Amino acid sequence: MGLGDDARLESRPATRAELELVHPGRDLDRLHQICDDGGGMVDPDTVVSCGSWDVALLAAGAGLAAVERLDRGDADAAFLAIRPPGHHAVPAASMGFCLVNNVAVTAAVLRARGERVVIVDWDAHHGNGTQDIFYDDPDVLYVSLHEWPLYPGTGSMDEVGVGAGVGATLNVPLPAGTTGDVYLAALDEVVAPVVARFAPTWVLVSAGFDAHRADPITGLGLSAGDFADLTARVVALAPRPGRVIAFLEGGYDLDALRDSVTATASTLLGQPCRPEPATSGGPGTPIVGALHDRWITERGV
């Protein structure tokens, strides 16, 4: 979905070559075989059925179909209403409800053609898989705002990349109860200048909605209205229209998910809808200050 009339996007399956930019072939074969055998548990949290392989290929291919449409100038942005989510999937394993790392496959395909990609992950959980995949890569900037401490246990401020990738991973670990004003401060005072310095050519969003205050498995304090503000800030990071793709990740209260997706999708359409007012007054401001000192004032990591 994107700007313009009838801008409905159909997915296509990701190809083997596209998937193998992120996941080793033997691990893809193993997942495919488990599905063909009728399904089962691939991780303590993650179950697959006989249909999961085909669905995983379509979820991973949605971002690639969106790139093809945006390359043609068909829309200013795309929102991908896909499941299963992807950001916990590491190169060699599915985990945390995620089979294939959808956003990473699209980032890897873009990177392979010379693009500079920023991934902004506002799911309540840290996207450990996405971080792992690009941890040593200076051309993919991974930015995560997430609850801390929380599953999967990664995402501290000290995780900033390795080797040539140092400075291309920015983690914003926030306490339970954090409200929208603190998210906006983090985006305005830390994330935006770091992204500007990086100079991306594409902006991908791991758009989970489990940071909503009603979500049953997390403790953050956002409302649907906050997601309209977050979306506007992230769109502003793009170099020009047509370079933003939002990938659905988590979100486990269905009413909150509906309202939050509405806020994000309508903002991408340029007609923001706020099913709830924005929130403020929660904790987390000292984290933003510490990150500002580290990333902006000291200009180092």
DSSP 155-206: --TT----GGGTTSEEEEEE-TT--HHHHHHHIIIIIHHHHHHH--SEEEEE
Catalytic residue list: 88
Number of helices (H) and strands (E), helices first, in the chain? Answer: 10, 8
Q: How far is the CB of 212 from Zn ion (least distance, A)?
A: 11
The distance of closest approach from Cβ of residue 138 to Zn ion in the complex, given in angstroms and rounded to an integer, is 27
Minimum distance, C-beta of residue 289 to Zn ion, in the bound complex (Å) = 26
Instruction: Give the integer Cα–Cα distance in Å for 117 and 131.
Output: 13
Helices (H), the chain: 16-19, 25-36, 52-71, 102-112, 128-133, 180-186, 192-198, 224-235, 254-268, 285-292
Nearest to Zn ion of 2, 129 (CB atom): 129
Q: Residue 54: how many CB atoms within 10 A of its CB?
A: 12
SS3 at position 300: coil
Please say which residue, 18 or 123, places its beta carbon nearer to Zn ion. Answer: 123
Q: How many CB atoms lie within 10 A of CB 120?
A: 26
Complex with Zn ion: residue 247 or 295, whichever CB lies closer: 247
Q: Using CB under 5 A as the criterion, which residues of the chain lie in contact with Zn ion when the complex forms? A: 123-125, 208, 210, 250
Cβ atoms of residues 152 and 96 within 8 Å: yes
We find the least distance from the C-beta atom of residue 126 to Zn ion, in angstroms, to be 9
Cβ nearer to Zn ion, comparing 250 with 284:
250
Residue 207 C-beta: closest distance to Zn ion, Å: 11
Cis upstream peptide for 152 (omega within 30°): yes
> CA geometry: angle at 234 spanning 231 and 236, to 5°?
110
> What is the rounded CA–CA span in Å between residue 245 and residue 76?
9
